[in-house]
Amino acid sequence: MWNFLPNEKLVIASLVEDATRTDAQIAELNGMKAGTVATVRRRLMDAGAVFYVNVPAFNRLGCEMMACHLGTMDPAQSFESKTSDYMEFVKSSPQIFDAIIGAKSIAFYSVLRNATELENLKAHHSRFFSGDRKRSMARISSISFPYSVSKGTYALNYAPTVRRFFRLDSPCGAVCEPTSVEVTSPDLTENEKKVLTAIVENPGEPDRAIAARVGISRQSVTRIRNKLDEEGYFRLVCVPRLYRWGFEIFSVVRVFFSSDFAYSDRADSQPKEPVMYSFFSLIKAEEAIANHMIWSFHDYTKGLDAGLAWYHRENAFEENPMITLLSLEHCLELRTHDFAPALRHVLERC
């Protein structure tokens, strides 16, 4: 369990709110010295308390949807066997950018160019878990969220959870509301594709190192990076490694909304907390997925009652939510915010 110093808490909170903040900006925001911020940032990175991710805007690359895949497995089958088999499955499935497995459950997330690719991924799962692997196979339920009719926190939203954990000011100002985005066709040169791939694979590398990787000048890399940033092809995010901080539970909540409760009315009147503390949310008119990192089981039961009370009172649910809980002490992350395989997969087809 981590015991953070006061200045470490302030630096982490500032970075998860906006990973592009400089040391000087963080220092001014929190009444610190820039040199102190630089030292703290390096210490946090070296210790593995946080890490950086460049999240691609897959909608800008012609992808039509994201999907959540939830499954239950035979608890009698050994965890080592299931983990080994699903690790190989994830390696063989570039569309998957997040995957976590526990003793009885698995959750993974994919980004897909179209509905055909979703069906192909599901078929690949069935084929992969045949023969000797069939005993490890989870009963998977896949839920697609087309960008055109969905909203999401596509660039992750850890700030409210971190601020509440550190007992800092109200997290409401740090909320990243789920938003709608449009699907567009990319217009990228080969060098732009190479640079985008390199900065997603190596988010902390300077332009000089990226230039060496892709074989163009540093000046060209800087120009391309600035263009890609300005046009919204990626977003830099600072991710806290909450499972190393002592958080006990990873929760995936799937809810089914009543067709009698209009989407717009629900969005305008529902409490912020269930979405605010979800670090990755996908929402459409009749269904939603929320992901939470929770400090303890006590916090989970307390938060569950408070978070769902309004929905039950307003008869907002068509049926009871499906909640998948994974103990962070007894699960394994198979792929964690690793967008590079999916990005390569998409760009190869552009």
What's the CA gap between 51 and 237, in Å, rounded? 8
pLDDT digits (tens, 9 = 90+) for 37-63: 999 999 999 999 999 999 999 999 999
The lowest-confidence range among 121-130, 132-141, 258-267 is 258-267
* pLDDT at residue 31 greater than cutoff 70: yes
Whether 224 and 161 share a structural domain = no
**In this structure, are 158 and 268 located in the same domain?**
yes
Sequence-ordered list of residues with C-beta below 8 angstroms from that of 57, at least 6 positions apart, any chain: 154, 181, 232, 233, 234, 235
**Residue 177 forms part of a structural domain:** yes
Please check whether residue 85 lies inside any domain of the structure: no
Between 211 and 307, name the one with better pLDDT: 211
* Range 233-253 average pLDDT: 95
Q: What is the pLDDT of residues 338-347, one digit of tens each?
A: 999 999 999 9
Where residue 264 falls (left for φ over 0; alpha for ψ -120 to 50; beta otherwise) is alpha
The percent of residues above 90 in pLDDT, for the chain, comes to 84
Q: What is the pLDDT of residue 199?
A: 97
Pair 221, 295 in one domain: no
Where is pLDDT greater, at 137 or 273? 137
Rounded to an integer, the average pLDDT of 109-129 is: 98
Q: Which of 219, 168, 220 shows the shortest CA–CA distance to 194?
A: 220
Q: Which domain holds residue 20?
A: 6-47
Q: Identify whether 12 is part of a domain.
A: yes
Residue 338 domain flag: no
Clarify whether residues 176 and 262 are in a common domain: yes
253 and 173 both lie in a single domain: yes
Whether residue 225 is found in the same domain as residue 322: no
Residue 114 belongs to some domain of the structure: no
The pair phi, psi for residue 28, each rounded to 5°, is -65, -35
269 belongs to a structural domain: yes
Instruction: Supply 272's token pair.
Output: 């912020």
Euclidean distance between CA atoms 249 and 158, whole angstroms: 15
Contact 313, 271 (CB under 8 A): no
Query: For all residues of the chain together, what is the average pLDDT?
Result: 94
Q: Is the pLDDT of residue 86 over 90?
A: yes
CATH number at residue 316: 3.30.70
Q: Within this chain, do residues 225 and 249 fall inside the same structural domain, yes or no?
A: no
CATH of the domain at 25: 1.10.10
Each residue of 149-198: pLDDT tens digit?
999 999 999 999 999 999 998 666 677 889 999 999 998 999 999 999 99
Query: Does 279 have pLDDT greater than 70?
Result: yes
What pLDDT is stored for residue 173 in this prediction?
66
The 10s digit of each residue's pLDDT in 196-206 is 999 999 998 99
For residue 172, the model assigns a pLDDT of 64
pLDDT of residue 284: 94
- Tally of residues, the chain: 350
Full-prediction pTM beyond 0.85? yes
